[in-house]
Structure formats: structure tokens, C-alpha cells
Amino acid sequence: MDYKLEIAKLISIDDVCLEEILDLVMPAKDTAVADWAFPCFKYAKALRKAPNMIASEVVDNISKPDFIASIEAVNGYVNFKLSKLSYAKGVVDAACSAGTNYGDSNLGAGKTICIDYSSINIAKPFHMGHLSTTVIGASLYRILGKLGYNVVGINHLGDWGTQFGKLIVAYKLWGDKDDVNARGINSLLEVYVKFHKEAESKPELNDEARAWFKKIEDGNKEAIDLFLWFKEVTMRDVSKIYDRLHVAFDSYNGESFYNDKMQPVLDELEAKGLTKISDGATIVEFPNDEMTPCLLKKADGATLYATRDMAAAFYRKNTYNFYKTLYVVAYQQNLHFKQFFKVIDMMGHEWASDLVHVPFGMVSIEGGKLSTREGNVVFVEDVLDTAKARALSVINEKNPDLDNKDSVAEMIGTGAVVFGVLTGNRIKDISFSYDKVLNFDGETGPYVQYTYARCNSLIEKIAKDGGEIDYSTFEKPEAYELIKLIDRYPAVVADSGAKYEPSLVTRHLLAIAGQFNKFYIEQNISNSDSGEKNARLLLVGIVRDIIGSGMALLGIECPSKM
């Protein structure tokens, strides 16, 4: 039951529509006093009555239904207390009926959302700087899909620019084909880092790099062959990481894909009188100097990120006719997105308002900084391997006879890393700590996974009696508080999708796991009588399904045993 809607239907005020009342009905702040509340202050002036009088009149005009235990007028509010038994039974029946589909919605039916995330750079390692965009974007992909949207996942590959000229020069000077085939990106990274160190004393290397990139642009066979080989090696290596993170994409169209799609955008800008030449460069200035000008072409004719991103936006609108396009990119790029969104708006395209930057904070390893150019890089693969090894060590200590220890350690280790990134508000910077994310007793992925395994174990060991269900069991405090969290889960998923904030799901799963473990300790399931045991096992099954499907939204698997 949608209690908010049903309560709104009970409230009658002259000349006030249901939609307006529904907007005002809210969860009560003090759940000991009420579950839902309706404030009457807004109508005091129009009705020329004190809010407490309006509240009293609203109460007098309500015929109390069975699902409401009490209705009271208190200090200008109408307070509704739900019937615990009716409420609990309704929530449990709905969750049981839906199973792992609990929280599914058709909210986004018929609407397409494109999500631009991960966007790795060719011939550069998949490092911790890429982790947040990858797991946040992939989680939003699943959450919005659960809400009924048609979601298009796009990996906007960084596969263009003078860095490829630098890499070709570096490879031709110091690279080895067999070593690249054997070690992949690590081998390419070494020569790339060496190039930058050598170029400090030999600036002519940068001239060679620009010349080689020009050859790529001109279609030179040797340059193109090397460029495509670097791309192939990169995708081979990073696909292993994506597989471990359970991340996939519908499109890998990167920067190079839009080379022949930029000119029509530039032509339209010029035709509409929006461009200006400044010191030989093509720019767009903003009204009232609200931002620095958007640079579209350098004096030498080279295009920039803004030019390619605008071409990509037009292509995606024409191809997918999106409802929204999300760009999951670090907050350091705030100005970039404000600029090119505004330029498209100035061109007169209303869908510019459907372009959304989803910013996030930076990740560091216990204070370390990341720089591909200097070679100071923390690879995601190494982080996942370390987390897995630590998880395996804990398993060998606590449950050495566990079957499939290696695969379980992979689930726990990878899950701990992903959960650690998705636990806090995405805009906050993260200082990553192995000890913190792998703590089985804290607010971590392993803690939630362990709760799932505990639920699974209880269901396997304790069989239902086949008798009746004693629904009054749900009125006991530990069970009732758990049911309230279960009831909120669909709304949390919807809110997470609306705010592009996976951490809302993450924190709610932590709340459910924490309350379930209180319930487990306080209410003896195995030694309950038949009706109580059946009721409690229903809750165990619901919690298992919510944790399993909720963690899947985050890209995390839950082992059946730990």
C-alpha cells in the first residue's frame, strides 16, 4: 500500500486538490508519536483559521480506516499512527510477492537515459582515478534500469590527442613488441613515463610527438597501425578489470569517433553568430561574462574536449533521443560542463537542460596522489588483488573449510572496494584504506555480505512448518523496525535514481543489515513456536532478497556462505 497516497485521500480541505495535499503529507519526525503527518499552516490565511483549528476539523471529517490506529490534531499537524499489524502484514506480503523484483518501477517507461562513465584513456592504466566514475556510473545504470528507464551505458574512450604521438615516439625509441604483448599497458606506461622525463632535457621530442600525431590525423598507415594496436592492447587489459567489477557498456564510441562530427556543430555556431576569433582561436563568449570563454579551436586549428563533447551530445540526441544524458565525471571538470552545456543552450536547443553533470570527489590511497605522467600510479587491478588476498587470509583464519574459498574471497575483496567507494556521498573525497573497507564489523561491504550469508544459512537450516503465520510477531520492536526499513527500500531506490546518488542504496542496505542482526539476536528463530517461526523466516527471506538485489545494483555479488 502507498500509505502516503492513502492518507492524502483521507484529508479534505475546501478547494485543495489531492496533488497538493499529497505534496504536504510527510513522514513524522518523531515516530513514537506518529508515522505520518500533515501540516495545516499553509491554509491559515486562506481559511482565516488557526492551524490547530484546521487540523481539528480535518480529523473530525475523517472516517478512520482499518490500516490507521489513531488520528490526532497536535499543534497544527494532523498526526497519523498506522495500525502496526495491518501495516506490517501489508509490507511483508508485498515484499514476499515481489521477491528480488521488490523496488522495481515503471517510472522511466519509454524514456532513455544515456550515461557517460569510466571513459578510460587508451594506452594508460586503469588506475584508482578511474574507479569512482566506473562504479558510480555502472550503479546508476542498474538503478535507473530497475526504475524502468531504457539506459545506454557509454564508455567515452580517451583515444585522441598528442599523447598518442608521444607514445609512438616512446615506443619506437625504447619499446619492445614482445614485451607489450606480454605485459600490456604496464609496458606502454613505462615508455610513456620515460618520454616525459627525457623530454625535460630534450624538448625536440615533443616536436616529434606532434608530427606523429599529425600522421595519425592524416591516416598514415604506420601511425594508424600503432594507434589501433595500442587501443587493442588497452581494451584487452581493461576488460579484465571491467569483468571483475561487473561493469559493461553499450557503446565504446570515444573521442576519435567524433572527428568527422565536429564541423557541423562549428558551422551551426558560426551561422548563428555565436563564435568569435581571439588571437587566432575560435571561442564562444558568455553573456555578462558569467564564465570564461569556451575554447573550441586553437589557433593552429586543433579542436578541444569541448568541441568533441558537443559533437557527442548532438550525436547522442540524434541517435537515442535521450530524456537525459548523465556525465559521471570528477568535480574538477565543473566549469567544462557548465560551458559546453551553456553553448548548446545558446544555440537554441532546449534539450541542453537535459544534459547533467554528475560530479564526484577524488580517491586517494591513504593520502597518496595519482599521476600517470610521473608514473606514480595505483592500479585498480593491484587494489583488487590486495583486497582479495586479505579477504582470503580472513577466510583461512575463520572458516578454513569453506568451499570455493578463492571465488568467495574475490566477491568479498572486490565488493569491499566497490562498497567503500559507494558508501559516502559521491561528491566527497575518499581516502581509501584496506583495513576500513575490509572490516567485517563496520559499515562495510563484507558486513552486508555476511548478513546475506547469515540469512541464507538460516533459511537452509530452519524449515518452515507449513502452518499458519503469526503476523502479530511483526509487532515486536525489532521486527517492526526492520519492516519499516523494508517498506522504505523502493522509495530509497527511486530517490537514489532521482538524485543520481548510489550511496542512498548503500546506506539503506547497511541500515537493513544492522537492524536484521538486532532482530536475529533478540528473536530466537529456531526455538520459536510454529506461527512465530514462520513469520520470522518470512522476514529472513525478504532481507536476503533485498540485500542480494540491492548489492547487485551496486555491482557486488553476495556469497551464499562465508
pLDDT digit string, tens, across residues 162-207? 889 999 999 999 999 999 999 999 899 899 999 999 999 999 999 9
At 370, is the pLDDT very low, low, confident or very high (cuts 50, 70, 90)? Answer: very low
Go through 98-134 and write b for each residue having 16 or more CB atoms within 10 A of its CB, e for each that does not: beeebbeeeebeebbbbbbbbbbbbbbbbbbbbbbbb
CATH number of the structural domain spanning residue 71: 3.30.1360.70
State the virtual CA torsion across 135, 137, 141, 146 in degrees, nearest 10.
70
Query: How far is 292 from 289, CA to CA, in rounded Å?
Result: 7
AA identity, residue 206: N
Could you read off the pLDDT of 521-554 as tens digits, one per residue?
A: 998 888 888 889 999 999 999 999 999 999 999 9
The answer to whether residues 159 and 282 belong to one domain is: no
Could you read off the pLDDT of 295-318 as tens digits, one per residue?
A: 999 888 878 889 999 999 999 999
Q: CB under 8 Å to 428, separation ≥6 — which residues?
A: 361
What's the pTM? Answer: 0.90
What residues make up the domain containing 281?
A: 263-302
The answer to whether residues 416 and 318 belong to one domain is: no
Paired with 290 in beta bridges are none
**What is the mean pLDDT of the segment spanning 111-115?**
98
The answer to whether residues 233 and 296 belong to one domain is: no
The answer to whether residues 357 and 471 belong to one domain is: no
What was the pLDDT predicted at 376? 57
Q: What is the mean pLDDT of the chain?
A: 92
What was the pLDDT predicted at 440? 84
Please report how the helices 530-554 and 405-423 are oriented relative to each other, as an axis angle in degrees rounded to 10. Answer: 70
Give the CA angle between residues 428, 446, 523 to the nearest 5°.
Answer: 115
The answer to whether residues 165 and 76 belong to one domain is: no
Radius of gyration of the chain from Cα atoms? 28
C-beta of residue 504 within 8 angstroms of C-beta of residue 416:
no
At 435, is the pLDDT very low, low, confident or very high (cuts 50, 70, 90)? Answer: confident
Number of structural domains found in the chain: 4
Could you read off the pLDDT of 21-30 as tens digits, one per residue?
A: 999 999 998 8
The answer to whether residues 357 and 440 belong to one domain is: no
The last residue of one of the domains, among 34, 64, 82, is: 82
With a cut of 90, say whether residue 2 has pLDDT above it. Answer: no
Q: Is 522 within a domain?
A: yes
CA-closest candidate to residue 474, choices 523, 543, 438, 511: 523
- Residue 81: phi and psi, rounded to 5, are -110, 125
Could you read off the pLDDT of 57-84 as tens digits, one per residue?
A: 999 999 999 899 999 999 999 999 999 9
